[in-house]
């Protein structure tokens, strides 16, 4: 891509190398530790599903039992292999037996001792191989399915128009999603119920009661996938399904998404730490395993840097977004994600009352495009300065649409004129899609026609943000990312590594004993 901003490529390269070193310092901790959720995701990958009579997921029951027996540091998979070999039952029956108390992790089954003595690693692999292979085949099948559908139902050249549904009832979400597709939406994001990220289990089945959104469950994923495939066939284009792989169950939701062919996941390496007060170290371990699953499932991740600008000023703190994008990119690369799946985030959040604010927005959007040319950048709409004035909101959204087209963005989340008033009605979404489609059609090739004044305001603003991000990354490298988070260097929010939800669910892997068949 030819630069329109005359950015210092040496400085960009230095930012990327510094971010790599920042991620490297944490990678040793990440690969030497696991979490309760990572272990539960291993069970789900091997096909374990379902809940007990109280609604507790069997994956939680098995991991908790292995933990109480003092064997989780060796990985849940090894103990499960021991128990399956000892009892002669499959994984689903084994979990059911543990749930009912018929099978003890260390104990007897109808008088017979099972699982007390660990099997040799070779034998464990043999026991679990059919389950591991079946899980990987299931993901591969979904990847092939997506490729075939996208070939038959091509999408718009972009940007992809991305809207949300958030009724709390999956069946009502389906109605709204199909309606949005008919109006021109390319991506449907099902907003998750408020505070689900703080649950240390994944709810089960189809749900109809959520607050501010709908629970992320595997059945809800299946229902919406089926609905969007149907809507896509009618519209003649493939429709992306989006949800959240974040919070305390980040890796498990990634598994469910892989099995149900979701296309994008909000999967940030630091969002849960900063905005949900989830333990820092747990989040770093969870994000890595969830992203390895996304790599296998060919799922695009969306990072959450746009959120920084909802708590910090979008002019003064623009460099923190860029610095975080560099760091998020490196964590994603370490999990195997290629650039085409790394949907880094940024936002149109500068106060509209600021003189030449639109020029600054264009500068930052163009800068993102040039620094991450192969990434499907996700551009977020204005929210912070939107009031109840729907006419003003619609006007600002159109400025956002124009900035998106002028800078060649990839994924365009629609601004809604009733932002800050209520969850969008069908009519609100129609007006937003109409505006975005108008801009996309009338400005289709404008990005290739535009150049910016050398030494002008747009170029100089982009250079200023890059320079500040470069300085910030150097400071983060000096003190370490964990300390940077503790000092509140991102989004002006401070998070101590010793605090936060889910800290008890992080543990060091037993040297020479830990076994995870999906990490081999």
Cis? peptide before 365, omega within 30° of 0: no
For residue 11, give every residue at least 6 positions away whose Cβ sits within 8 Å of its Cβ, in sequence order, or none: 466, 467, 470
Question: What are 112's strand-pairing partners?
Answer: 109
Sheet bearing 264-266, strands edge to edge: 342-343, 300-302, 264-266, 240-244, 187-190, 160-165, 411-413, 378-380, 345-347
Question: If residue 161 lies in a helix (H) or strand (E), which one and from where to where?
Answer: strand 160-165
Q: Of 36, 268, 306, 325, which residue is the catalytic one? A: 306
* Residue 271 is among the residues annotated as catalytic for this protein: yes
Query: What is the C-alpha separation between 36 and 40, in angstroms, rounded?
Result: 6
Query: What is the C-alpha separation between 153 and 356, in angstroms, rounded?
Result: 41
Find the angle CA(362)-CA(456)-CA(4) to the nearest 5 degrees. 60
* Residue 306 is among the residues annotated as catalytic for this protein: yes
- Cβ–Cβ < 8 Å for 169, 209: yes
Instruction: Give the alpha-carbon dihedral of 322, 327, 329, 335, to 10 degrees.
Output: -170
Question: What are 501's strand-pairing partners?
Answer: 278
Residue with tokens 């309760």: 36
* Residue 13 is among the residues annotated as catalytic for this protein: no
The CA–CA distances, whole Å, from 151 to 147, 342, 351, 359 equal: 6, 21, 42, 38
Q: Of 162, 201, 215, 271, which residue is the catalytic one? A: 271
The CA–CA distances, whole Å, from 283 to 248, 324, 480 equal: 8, 15, 16
For residue 161, give every residue at least 6 positions away whose Cβ sits within 8 Å of its Cβ, in sequence order, or none: 184, 185, 186, 187, 412, 414, 433, 436, 437, 440
Query: What is the C-alpha separation between 421 and 128, in angstroms, rounded?
Result: 52
Measured in residues, the chain has a length of 520
* DSSP 8-state assignment for residue 198: G
Question: If residue 459 lies in a helix (H) or strand (E), which one and from where to where?
Answer: helix 457-479
Burial environment of residue 335 by CB neighbours within 10 A (0 to 12, 13 to 18, 19 or more): buried
CA–chain centroid gap for 109, Å, is: 41
Phi, psi of 314 (to 5 degrees): -70, -20
Strands 187-190 and 160-165, by their bridges, are: parallel
Query: What is the C-alpha separation between 451 and 474, in angstroms, rounded?
Result: 31
Q: Of 4, 378, 384, 463, which residue is the catalytic one? A: 378
Active site residues: 271, 306, 378
């Amino acid at each position: 891509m030819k630069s329109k901003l005359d950015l210092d490529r040496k400085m960009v390269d230095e930012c990327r190398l510094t971010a790599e070193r920042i991620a490297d310092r944490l990678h040793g901790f990440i690969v030497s530790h696991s979490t309760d959720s990572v272990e539960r995701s291993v069970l789900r990958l091997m096909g374990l599903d379902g809940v007990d009579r109280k609604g507790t997921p069997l994956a939680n029951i098995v991991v908790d039992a292995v933990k109480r027996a003092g064997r989780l540091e060796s990985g849940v998979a090894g103990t499960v292999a021991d128990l399956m070999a000892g009892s002669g039952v499959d994984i689903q029956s084994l979990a059911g037996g543990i749930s009912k108390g018929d099978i003890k992790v260390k104990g007897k089954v109808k008088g017979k001792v099972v699982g007390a003595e660990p099997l040799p690693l070779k034998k464990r692999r043999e026991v679990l191989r059919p389950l591991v292979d079946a899980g990987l085949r299931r993901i591969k099948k979904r990847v092939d399915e997506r490729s075939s559908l996208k070939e038959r139902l091509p999408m718009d050249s972009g940007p992809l128009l991305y809207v949300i549904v958030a009724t709390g009832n999956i069946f009502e979400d389906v109605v709204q999603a199909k309606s949005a597709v008919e109006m021109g939406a390319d991506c449907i994001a099902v907003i998750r119920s408020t505070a689900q990220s703080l649950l240390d289990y994944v709810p089960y089945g189809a749900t109809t009661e959520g607050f501010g959104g709908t629970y992320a469950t595997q059945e809800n994923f299946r229902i919406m996938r089926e609905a969007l495939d149907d809507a896509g066939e009618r519209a003649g284009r493939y429709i992306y399904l989006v949800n959240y792989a974040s919070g305390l169950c980040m890796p498990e939701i990634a598994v469910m998404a892989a099995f149900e062919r979701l296309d994008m996941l909000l999967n940030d390496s630091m969002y849960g730490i900063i905005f949900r007060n989830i333990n820092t170290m747990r989040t770093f371990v969870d994000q890595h395993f969830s992203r390895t699953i996304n790599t296998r499932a060919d799922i695009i991740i969306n990072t959450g840097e746009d959120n920084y600008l909802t708590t910090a000023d979008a002019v003064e703190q623009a460099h923190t977004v860029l610095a975080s994008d560099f760091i998020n990119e490196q964590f994603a690369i370490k999990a195997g994600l290629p650039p085409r799946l790394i949907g880094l985030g940024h936002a149109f959040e500068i106060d509209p009352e600021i003189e030449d604010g639109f020029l600054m927005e264009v500068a930052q959007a163009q800068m993102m495009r040039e620094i991450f040319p192969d990434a499907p950048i996700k551009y977020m709409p204005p929210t912070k300065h939107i009031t109840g004035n729907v006419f003003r909101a619609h006007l600002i959204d159109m400025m956002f649409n124009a900035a998106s087209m002028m800078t060649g963005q990839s994924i365009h989340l629609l601004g809604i004129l009733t932002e800050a008033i209520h969850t969008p009605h069908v009519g609100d979404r129609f007006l937003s899609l109409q505006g975005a489609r108008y801009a996309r059609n009338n400005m289709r090739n404008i990005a290739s026609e535009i150049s910016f004044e050398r030494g002008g305001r747009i170029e100089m603003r982009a250079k200023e943000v890059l320079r500040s991000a470069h300085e910030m990354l150097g400071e983060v490298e000096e003190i370490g990312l964990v300390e940077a988070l503790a000092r509140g260097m991102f989004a002006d929010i401070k998070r101590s590594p010793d605090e936060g939800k889910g800290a008890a669910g992080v543990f060091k892997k037993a040297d020479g004993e830990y076994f995870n068949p999906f990490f081999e």
